[in-house]
Amino acid sequence: MDTSQYMSMFLEESMENLQTLNESLLELEQNPEDIDKLNEIFRVAHTIKGMAATMGFTQMAELTHKMEDILSEFREGKLKVTEKVVTVLFTCLDTLEKMVNNISEGNSEEIPIEKILHDLHTMAEIGDSPKAQEKVNNCNEKISCDVNEKVILNEYDINVIKQAIEKLFNVYEVQIDLSESTLLKAARAFLIFKSLEEDGEIIKSIPGAEDLESENFEFKISLIYITKKEKAEVVEMLLNISEVENVTVEPVDVKNNSQDLTKKMGDFKEIEKVPQVNTVVTKNNATVDDKSKKKETTHKKAHQSVRVDLERLDKFMNMVSELVIHRTRLEQISSVHKLTDLNETIEQVARSTSELQELVMKIRMLPLEVVFNRFPRMIRDLSKELDKEMELVIKGQETEIDRTVIDEIGEPLLHLLRNAADHGIEPSEVRISKGKSPIGKISLIAYAEGTKAIIKVMDDGAGLDVKRITQKANEVGINTDGMTEADIKNLIFAQGFSTNDKVTDISGRGVGMDVVKTKIAALGGTVDATSEIDKGTSFIITLPLTLQIIQALLVKIGNETMAISLGYIDRVIDYKAELIKKTSNKEVIVYNDSIIPLVRVNERMEIEAIENTHKYIVIVKVGEKTVGLLVDSLLGQQEIVIKPLGKTLQGLKEYIGATILGDGLVTLILDVAALV
């Protein structure tokens, strides 16, 4: 079978499933009694195993199969969820991730899994129950464990059913007869399970998953199914699958199924009340219950979303960007030639273009959750490695930003969180001596603010030691004279700067924080550090929500037209010579009782200023800093498309790109963060 066409889907879904397992295992470690979470983990692990086996990756399937053994023992209560067991399972996940990466990169290198398999086997043996094993063996010897009999429920199953009924779910015992001419029984069973799991959950089946996969069963399948759907809908759904001959659906009667266990569980009256009405349907005689009338049911389509190649999405975005440029050009031609007949059409084109642009922006947006969800596991591992107690609090992970930003923001956040764990959070005994909680708290908070996304990485640790930073700065030849305390704190972003004398795997080489600054600046964002001794440190990252189309203010600097992103602009004021003062040989303006540094943009850009024009001061805010930019005139606000400058001009730090205006003029977009 040619599996190449399914490879990208396999890789993508495997990474998603591994991430889900990481998150779910963390939650299970916190709440070992969470049955729903355990079910979810089991289901996802089984999916990975099935996909790997189908694609022919036997090593991956074998490892996941061993993981399932451990998870089965959790479910049956033979093995307790402990830190040791979870750590072994995490090692499994890391190995599976390496395997997926190798497959993705076309690397055929074998990853040794003997030690992990041995660890898993050892863990599984801890929870082995000889009686349970004997029962399984007997069942394997005579496949009949007769599927026509009722599925035997254990205490765990009854617990799940009880919870389901409390949540107003329907619980059915479903018996399915396949046609005796069925050639691929395993494939048919897979389709049956897939269809059922779209609208519910299968908690038990006879035969078991392994027998179904290896086709070690006759033509009958019995299972316990939890769903919100009615009996008739379940029956109809199953009969729509080819080679399914007969379907019997009946509500589960826990009392008759396992009387002893029911007594232990207490009075289970709500389940006993379920009326015992069988629903038997065959394809030749499609009747459902005596009293029920034939109803037309509309099926919800299985595929409510599609996967789109990112290159296509980028191309779509570029085409919309071109459309925005042509719209602006049309508007300009219409106003210059006073073509009033065109106005209405141009307005409609403008409206449609705006809606299309808004739509493509939303399609490109992704929640920060896709980046944030890998950090809880990282903090757990760092906590063990550094022998410090710490917790990670995440808020605002639903905040959406452009996919390009999402791709790039992971690494800076990783550095900031590792730094908070290593430098910020103190050991428990030190924290207790300072009167703090022994458990250090690291917070990762995100929210949207206008056209910007704000991400904060905060810890309640030792804080930044200004004296230490000053001393280190002087050692490496940085002059700190005349610097404010805030400026000194921000020196930690200087290249190669580290206050850690000891180099570890986690930090101390001085290559982390300058990467943070550089990456965020490349995204058109800023990062600032604020700190208080023994209270903690906060890193505030400001990012544009999107990098393609922005609202901008067009200004004249000398004879040049330039654009400034509205996201940075606080306000615009008239220039008056008396506003300007000098302090420490630098120009400032006094506005609203605040002293704001002034930047003469024409001097910075080495452009000749125009005399005798009405000048303006554009007050911009970058992070915590406010600066006034002196420009020669204003040309108004416009929606512009950011075009990269290309390789030849990419060294120009003062510009984030260029745009094409309605009259065809190419205009540079100022990088306000670099100017400030």
Catalytically active residues, by annotation = 46, 68, 419
Residue with tokens 């063990």: 384
Asked whether the beta carbons of 415 and 513 are under 8 A apart, the reply is: yes
The residue among 474, 486, 675, 484 whose CA lies nearest residue 584 is 484
Cβ–Cβ contacts within 10 Å for residue 372, how many?
22
For 265, counting Cβ atoms within 10 Å of its Cβ (0-12 exposed, 13-18 middle, 19+ buried), the class is: middle
3-state secondary structure of 553: strand
Rg of the chain over Cα atoms, rounded to whole angstroms, equals: 32
**Residue 265 structure tokens:** 């569980």
**C-alpha–C-alpha distance, residues 236 and 242, integer Å:** 12
Q: Output 2-6 pairs: Cβ under 8 A, ≥24 positions apart.
A: 3/54, 3/55, 3/56, 6/55
Q: Report the C-alpha gap between 662 and 196 in whole angstroms.
A: 56
Asked if 482 and 584 touch (Cβ cutoff 8 Å), the reply is yes
Report the residue count for the chain.
676
The burial class, CB within 10 Å (0-12 / 13-18 / 19+), for 390 is buried
The H or E element spanning position 110 is none
Q: Listing from the earlier edge strand, what are the strands of the sheet with 560-565?
A: 633-641, 549-557, 560-565, 666-670, 655-660
Of 346, 434, 446, which is closest to residue 395 (Cα–Cα)? 446
Calculated CA dihedral for residues 497, 500, 505, 510, nearest 10 degrees: 0
DSSP 426-488: PPHHHHHHTT--SSEEEEEEEEEETTEEEEEEEE-SS---HHHHHHHHHHTT---TT--HHHH
Bin 667: left if φ > 0, else alpha if -120 < ψ < 50, else beta: beta
Quickly tell me which residue has 């599984």 as its tokens.
124
3-state secondary structure of 10: helix
DSSP string, 123-181: HHHHT--HHHHHHHHHHHHSTTS-TTSPPPP-HHHHHHHHHHHHTT-EEEEEEEEE-TT
DSSP 643: B
Closest CA to 333 of 91, 661, 5, 670: 661
CA distance 212 to 68: 15
Q: What is the Cα–Cα distance from 433 to 56, expressed in whole angstroms?
A: 57
DSSP 479-508: --TT--HHHHHGGGGSTT----SS--SSS-
Which among 66, 74, 236, 264 is positioned nearest to 158, based on CA atoms? 264
Rounded to an integer, what distance in angstroms lies between the CA atom of residue 71 and that of residue 69?
Answer: 5
Does the CA dihedral 105-106-112-114 come out positive or negative? positive
CA distance 394 to 446: 8
